[in-house]
Amino acid sequence: DTGVSQDPRHKITKRGQNVTFRCDPISEHNRLYWYRQTLGQGPEFLTYFQNEAQLEKSRLLSDRFSAERPKGSFSTLEIQRTEQGDSAMYLCASSLKLSPFFGPGTRLTVL
Amino acid sequence: AQKITQTQPGMFVQEKEAVTLDCTYDTSDQSYGLFWYKQPSSGEMIFLIYQGSYDEQNATEGRYSLNFQKARKSANLVISASQLGDSAMYFCAMTRRLANSKLTFGKGITLSVRP
């Protein structure tokens, strides 16, 4: 399968714990995006990489959130000291030109 | 700032009939892109169709077509010959074409196809 993959697909954690998600983009895609989607809403942009450079971060991305793409391939999104409001679907997408392709998402539940 | 508006309540369509899903947008950019994505209950966002603001013809992809009316700032999705597998959430989104491809999404529309 050559699509975008994300791991894990589901994560349940207790408030205050740290979590890390991984995204593997389509291999030739140089752009990688993270979005967050809460129930009944459309995805909201979090951050964007072109190769290994993080070019834009949303104001939604508090200092508890950090994303990396160290070699311009896979990316990780870490949430420190999770809060119940962090419960959401975290979507990764990649693109080469204009049309981003999305992965299956990681569903986070913070208890 | 860019804004996408999807205000239709849940939509129902009979199998094999056509359905139109509405999308209006607001932007001060002259060059932009419009997208439609499908999100089934499994959660994955599936790219359906793209329309550039300078494209003179409406985009088509199989059973999907985008009715682009630039003056009205609307980009409605038309699905012809609906199938049961079309039941899903549908999101309209836009991007600034000459910048990065960050997408701004609407709230989505639920489509249910009846047998």
Q: What is the per-residue pLDDT across A7-25, written as a single tens digit (0 to 9) for each? A: 999 999 999 999 999 999 9
Residue B96's CB is within 10 A of a number of other CB atoms, namely 16
Whose tokens are 């550039």? That residue is B52
Q: Give helix then strand counts, H and E, for chain B.
A: 0, 12
pLDDT, average across residues A25-51: 93
pLDDT at A60: 82
Mean pLDDT over residues B10-36, rounded? 94
Q: Which residues from A are below 8 Å from B45, CB to CB?
A: 43, 91, 93, 102, 105
Chain A residues in contact with B104 by the CB 8 A cut-off are 45
- Residue B100: pLDDT band (50, 70, 90) is low
Please identify which residue in the block is written with the tokens 């499994």: B42
For chain A positions 13-42, those within 8 Å of chain B (CB to CB) are 31, 33, 35, 40-42
Q: What is the pLDDT of residues A69-90, one digit of tens each?
A: 988 899 999 999 999 999 999 9
Dist CA A88 CA A107 (whole Å): 6
Strands B60-61 and A101-102: unpaired
Using the Cβ of B51 and the Cβ atoms of chain A, whether some distance falls under 8 Å is answered with no
The model's pLDDT over B37-70, given as tens digits with 9 standing for 90+, comes to 999 998 889 999 999 998 889 999 999 999 999 9
pLDDT value at position B62? 96
CA A59, distance to chain mean position in Å, is 15
* B20, pLDDT greater than 90: yes
Query: For A7-75, what is the HEC assignment?
Result: ECCEEEECCCCCEEEEEECCCCCCEEEEEEECCCCCCEEEEEEECCEEEEECCCCCCCEEEECCCCCCE
Q: Does A103 touch chain B (CB under 8 A)?
A: yes
Q: How far apart are CA A31 and CA A98, in angstroms?
A: 10
For residues B95-114, average pLDDT: 86
pLDDT band at A1 (very low <50, low <70, confident <90, very high): low
Q: Which phi-psi region, left, alpha or beta, contains residue A59 (left: φ > 0; alpha: ψ -120 to 50)?
A: alpha
